[in-house]
Amino acid sequence: MKFGKEFASQMVPEWQAAYMDYACLKILLKQIQHWKQKTTQPDTPPRLPRALTLYRAFSGLIQRQNQRLSSFNGEDTENQPILGNFCTGRKGSGKYETTFLMAAEEGGECEQQFFRRLDNELNKVDKFYKSKVKEVMEEAQTLSKQMKALIAFRIKVDKVAAKFDHIHPSPRMVGMNVFNGEAQSNDSIEDNEKHISLEIEEENSKHMMSSDIASLNILNHVKLNEAIQTHFPTIKQTELNFSKENLKRIEKQQAFIEFYHKLRLLKKYSFMNILAFSKIMKKYDKISSRRASRNYMRIVDNSYLGSSDEVTKLMERVEATFIKHFSNSNHGKGMNKLRLKTKKERHRISFCTGLFVGCTAALILALILIIHARNILDKQGKAQYMENMFPLYSLFAFIVLHMILYAANIFFWRQYRINYTFIFGFKQGTELGYREVLLLSFGLAALALASVISNLDMEMDPKTGDYKALTELLPLILVTLALVILIFPFNILYRSSRLFFLTTLFHCICAPLYKVKFQDFFLADQLTSQVQALRSLQFYICYYGWGDYKHRQNTCKMNDAFNTFYFVVAVVPYWSRLLQCLRRLHEEKDPMQAYNGLKTAYSLNAGTGRRIVAWICLAIAAIYGTYWDLVVDWGLLQRRSKNRWLRDKLLVPYKGVYFGAMVRGKACIKYIAEICMDQTVLNFKVSLHRETLAAIVAGLEIVRRGIWNFFRLKNEHLNNVGKFRAFKSVPLPFNYEDDEDREV
């Protein structure tokens, strides 16, 4: 792989604009190379044939090496093409400037432009790195205070006497000031422990007690976040409760791991940019036949980017602290927690996915042939089958279609380097890729199609006047199996992803009790596109709970309770979304959340109103929702943009994709779906069967949601890129009274 591609693949997506622009510098080098080739003398002496060069005299390896070393070690300043210096600005902000000493030569203007751009890139990278190092040093101070409070909290919980801790210093008490430059290596800590244990007996007992009280006095100035002590996270603070349960919750905080992750990315950022400067200068030397790389790399090495070692030292302190205090001095266990887990692509996933795809295609073909061979469409029981069995199996079609579109979204998110793992808050190394999602979706599709073929019976048994009870129970067995797998507690079948989904779903149901995160309102939006699937689940309860499956009868719609819940089920996703908007409006004081809640309210009224009210609400929701999705969610329709009606920065290079998504994703799908979704409200008459039309419209809405998902995450990613936000905010367990910042 060429370095340019490797450099792009190793970038932190949210920091991409802060990296050295390697591609632009390569373009400038190509211009220099083109100029050099233009001005090269054509009458250069030809090379000797290979046969003659084999017989040249050999002068020895040592002599040639000494000559080369002398030419590089000698400081021949007269032949140096560049001269670098550091200029201090008016406000104290300095920048690097390189003077090209051979600008008077032919083509020197191109080389001078190259060094001017190279200096700009160095200043940009150096400034960004310096600002990020300053941020992590401030966060290190905050985490240091958290560690002091944690150690004091442990003492109170364990009820360990302060005098005993001084006589026998425990591992938990060592290294309290790890981020303040007072951290020591593991060997020195062990030596100090022995030294302290020998000398502490000679100290005054009063001095020991005063020192102990000073360390525990930290607890008088801190409070616990209520999220640590309760199951419903808020931003409030509460008094300290010295219980072992709270101690376990505090020790499970991910602040140290996220902080270490940031340090690793900063170190990698420094290394990759220095390597990029080295590579581009080597290319320059090769093209221009000059020796400027050594001088310029000396400038890079002396810059803050190349000379600062704060990040490396801080990483060592974090490792020592985490291993000592959170891993019981187990180095391997501690480093396994700190290091990111890289997900391995397994061939068996691809094989099984291909197997299920083939099974699905074969079963679809078999279903078509059976329907044609038996002439099922003309049989008497067709209408009854469509009323009773079709809603049961359409549930799986909706789920499978949504999962396939989600897999396609993951594929394109990765293709365009959208950091969906960070946006959703997935645990590193446990997120599902598009192969795993396709495996699950086509596996479910194969099972559902096999069940359909087994249950494709239009006529009753003439002897018993009954349908086959076993085949009637197949849809219920399949739904039960899917639910059991979803809540299966053991560590198989992607347990972390299932737990993440169930937790997010619980947050949506319990809105507005939980603080709304991106994954919460994203899932709530998905549920608004699965109203027909939720109604199918309601039909499962009615059809099997009341025993209609035995005679394939549908008495559900004759029941007033069923008809009432038929509308309630459609309201629940929109109601949850509305409560989320109100919670965000209360916390963020952002008026945009009020407008978003208003859009949700109109969609809610469209599904619950009657006739004229429903038509009015649908029209308002169509106009308002289109504007909201295109401008707010997608970030499109920008008048003053470089790209006409689009954003300044586009991840997808083809503009037609955006305009096509606007037309197909919004106007042609969503509001046709909303108008036709509820025929009981609008009395929309068409020639298709009611259940068939409902399934088609629901499928179109799911497709529209799949298109929306890609652009919604693209917009969120570009917002993170604009703010260089590459790390999630982790709530800290303790709040100091004099601190204003509560999260790291």
The confidence score (pLDDT) of residue 506 equals 95
| Strands 734-736 vs 222-225: parallel, antiparallel or unpaired | antiparallel
pLDDT recorded at residue 273: 93
CB-side exposure of 320: number of CA atoms within 13 Å?
22
Q: What is residue 292's predicted lDDT score, i.e. its pLDDT? A: 84
Report the percent of the chain where pLDDT is more than 90.
22
The sign of the dihedral angle between the CA atoms of 57, 61, 63, 68 is positive
Query: Which residues, 6+ apart, have CB-to-CB distance to 300 below 8 Å?
Result: 122, 274, 277, 278, 306
Q: Which residue has the higher pLDDT, 710 or 625?
A: 710
Q: Record the pTM.
A: 0.74
User: Region 571-600: what's the mean pLDDT?
Assistant: 80
The pLDDT of residue 171 is above 60: no
What does the H/E/C string look like for 163-200? HHHHHCCCHHHCCCCCCCCCCCCHHHHHHHHHHHHHHH
Query: Phi, psi at residue 55, to the nearest 5°?
Result: -110, 15
Give the alpha-carbon dihedral of 149, 154, 155, 158, to 10 degrees: 160
pLDDT digits (tens, 9 = 90+) for 306-345: 888 899 999 999 888 888 888 888 888 888 888 877 777 7
pLDDT at 245: 73
Query: What tens digit of pLDDT does each residue of 214-257 get?
Result: 466 777 777 777 655 544 444 444 556 677 777 777 776 678 88
Q: Of 57-61, 164-168, 661-665, 676-680, which one has max mean pLDDT?
A: 661-665
Torsion of CA 23, 25, 27, 31, to 10 degrees: -170
607: confidence class by pLDDT, cuts 50, 70, 90: low
The pLDDT value recorded for residue 332 is: 86
Whether residue 507 is predicted with pLDDT greater than 90 in this model: the reply is yes
Identify which has the larger pLDDT, 708 or 203: 708
Integer Cα distance of 412 and 367 in angstroms: 32
Q: What is d(CA 697, CA 705) in angstroms, rounded to the nearest whole number? A: 12
**Residue 2 pLDDT more than 80?**
yes
387, pLDDT greater than 70 = yes
Mean pLDDT of 189-198: 43
Q: Assess contact for 715 and 661: CB atoms under 8 A.
A: no
Residue 664 vs residues 542, 650, 655, 705: alpha-carbon distances, Å = 36, 19, 14, 11
**pLDDT given at position 189:** 40
pLDDT for res 230: 46
Most confidently predicted of 145-149, 276-280, 650-654: 276-280
Residue 176 region by backbone torsions, left for phi larger than 0, else alpha for psi between -120 and 50, else beta: alpha
Q: Which is higher by pLDDT, 252 or 436?
A: 436
Q: What is the pLDDT of residue 589?
A: 80
Residue 442: pLDDT above 70?
yes
Residues 349-373 have a mean pLDDT of: 93
More confident residue, 704 or 736: 704
Most confident of 91-105, 518-532, 578-592: 518-532
- Report pLDDT for 744: 44
409 pLDDT tier (thresholds 50, 70, 90): very high
Q: Which helix (H) or strand (E) holds 89?
A: none
Highest mean pLDDT of the ranges 194-203, 488-497, 591-600: 488-497
What pLDDT does 467 receive? 66
Mean pLDDT for all residues in the chain: 76
Q: What is the DSSP letter of 664?
A: I
